[in-house]
Structure 1
Amino acid sequence: MEFIELEDKKGSYQAVPHDEAFKKLLQTFFAEFIALFFPELDRLLDHTHTRLLMQELLVDVVGQESRSLDLLVETRYKSLDAFILVHIEPQSYRQRDFHERMFIYFSRLFEKYRKTYPLIIPIAIFSADDVREEQNILTMSIPEQDILFFHFYKVELRRQNWRSFITSDNPVAAALLAKMGYNKKEEREVRTAYLRMILRLQINLDDARLALIMSVADLYFEPDIERDQEILREISKENPQEGEKIMKLMPAWSRAGYEEGIKEGIEKGEENGKTMERKVIIQKFLGKGFSPEQLAETLEISVDEVMKLGKQ
């Protein structure tokens, strides 16, 4: 489990657990991330020679503590015909001196690897909910001379227009769609667009990678079972084949939540001796589009029993 620091009212920091799914997404889809947000940089890199390096433990002279870099990648820079380092640092909360920390991380990497890698490229991913311009430049100068100019790449997810990504077949776009800029009225439309992106991606991605994308996306989508059921019915009505594909994807997505709800309802009915409640629940979910086979597998009963209770 990774930890991040949150600043409290007194100005001190406390460690809180942070989901590893976001970092795993970048590890798995590094090339896709670069292509999506930094296409000009992507054309300079040869991703056939990319490998993830072990976490670097750096001493932060500002906070006087050790910090692990979130993601350090070795890849090939075409024009130099040499391997370089790419440091990616996700930032999910506001930190006034973050640009200074990025410089410290860069300087530590330069100190250690300057004879091994001719180039180090730092990238920050800002995923905080508030929309604002993040500082990505650190300068020092005197009237007669520039002393320092440090500039790192950045992507601010909330400042991205979600509509610009919905036709993309890039898995990172689907995973991070819910973190991009949209208003409350557009929530349902964003969710629908996300599901359609998943339908396209499932053609070329294996189950494990698809599940990873969904696990990241569900960190940011507000759960709403009724809304999702309505969206699924709409997709199924428009295109029955798409609806069938969605149902097959459910084990990696919200189906687990639906099935848990079904099971809880069934168990509660059994505990209270309310057989009728069991019938009603099965009938309800059959009406929502779940197949007898899916309910039988979830409830660990036979298809014949599901059909019998569903008819009653």
Structure 2
Amino acid sequence: MVDRDRLFRDLLKNFFLEFVDLFFPKIAVAIDPKSIRFLEDEESLKPQEQGEHSPASTKQEASSNVLVQVRLRGQESCFWVHLENSSETNIKLERRIFHTFARLDEKYNLPIYPIILQSSDKSQRLETNGYRVEFVDRRVLDFSFVAIQLHRLNWRDFLQRRNPVAAALMPTMNVQTFDRPVVKAECLRLLTNLRLDAKKVKVISQFIEAFLHLNAAEEQVLQTEMERMGLLERERITNLLTSTTQANQQQGAEREALSLVFRLLKRRIGDLNPDLEAQVRSLPVNQVEDLGEALLDFNNEEDLKNWLRGKTA
């Protein structure tokens, strides 16, 4: 299963300035590109307990965050991009966003620009763009944020934007079923014309494939759309599709090998603790294959620990 949250994080970490330029061009020109620094702050960004007076059900679906420190017109500032994909919340969404903002404000003591990015039409619809507390005689809190609801945007409005983030995000916008092959053709056309390096092309192409995976009939329409392009453009897209397919097959084989190793480990030594599981997941594919053979001799968790220590020594 594709980790879409990871794809969004990778997109923002590779193309943060392009993301800001796509949606906030006036702000983008004020950012010093050399100052961009990504901050890891899981503690401040994770959902907090809602307290004893909260509703009985407190489950919140997973979400992703990217926190970036930049110099904006010479002033140190932060951007907080929150990917919201929950369909329901037990605490009002706007209030939950404010609570996280308040923790970040307290910790960093910097101006923070909050951006909420909704990626699915199953997401809770944001009726407002802020959280307010009012009394009869005054408003004591007026907090606002920017909400980008991708599923409500028209992909055609981004066709002429020579921006890699546009190529990635168009498939997540309001795309009619009959337009899916056309959108993919346009995304690939834009991507190949941007002349990015191989690493960045991979980030965008994986994003497009994850959000716009076509069935056999749609693939035929895609080929028809490509026939209308120029020869050089068509050749570039064909090469890109071929390399993407090969990469996806390789990744699929690696995921299957890792899944098999975890199943065998569970049978040999039981469930792994989170730290050990993370170590196994971080192994390169050749060492996963080595582990698949070595684990046949394991009797307990200590055998796995010793094997991993031997690989990192």
So what's the TM-score if we normalise by structure 2?
A: 0.68
1:30 is matched with which residue? 16
> Whose Rg is larger?
1
1:237–1:179: structure 2 CA closer, same or farther, 3 Å change rule?
Answer: closer
Alignment counterpart, residue 177 of structure 1, candidates 170, 177, 189: 170
Whether 1:196 aligns to 2:189 is yes
User: Measured at CA, do residues 248 and 224 of structure 1 come closer, stay the same or move farther in structure 2, by a change above 3 Å?
Assistant: same
1:124-154 Cα offsets, whole Å, 9 max, x none, are 1011124844432100011211100010112
CA distance in 2, matches of 1:147, 1:36: 34
1:208-250: CA deviations, max 9, x gaps?
1011001112121132245335523552464222222122212
Greater CA drift, 45-54 or 65-74: 65-74
Does residue 247 of the first structure (1) align with residue 238 of the second (2)? yes
**Which residue among 102, 121, 127 is the counterpart of 1:129?**
121
Q: Secondary structure at the match of 1:45?
A: coil
Equivalent residues in 2 for 1:144-293 (5 A)? 144-201=137-194, 203=195, 205-232=196-223, 234-236=225-227, 238-254=229-245
CA 1:247–1:255: 2 relative to 1, 3 Å:
farther
Task: Summarize the Cα distance change of 1:38–1:44 in structure 2 as closer, same or farther, 3 Å threshold.
Answer: same
CA contact (8 A) 2:185 2:225 kept: no
3-state DSSP class of the match of 1:57? helix
User: 1:52 aligned to 2:38?
Assistant: yes
Deviations 1:108-132 (A, max 9, x none): 1111122xx2x11111101112484
Q: CA deviation at 1:56?
A: 3.5
5+ residue gaps, structure 1, are 3-16, 261-312
CA–CA distance in structure 1, aligned partners of residues 228 and 174 of structure 2: 29
**Cα distance in 2, alignment partners of residues 143 and 89 from structure 1:** 33
Whole-angstrom distance in 2 between the partners of 1:134 and 1:216 = 28
Aligned residues: 239
Structure 2 residues without counterparts, runs of 5 or longer: 52-57, 252-313
Amino acid at match of 2:211: Y
Deviation at 1:187, TM superposition (A): 2.0
Percent identity among equivalent residues?
28
Query: Contact between 2:181 and 2:214, CA under 8 Å: does it hold in 1?
Result: no
More moved, 170-179 vs 59-68: 59-68
Check conservation: 1:55, 1:71, Cα contact below 8 A: no
Distance change in 2, residues 1:134/1:191 (3 Å): farther
- CA–CA separation in structure 2 for the residues paired with 1:104 and 1:63: 11
1:295 — aligned with what? none
Paired with 2:86 and 2:175, the residues of 1 have a C-alpha distance of 19
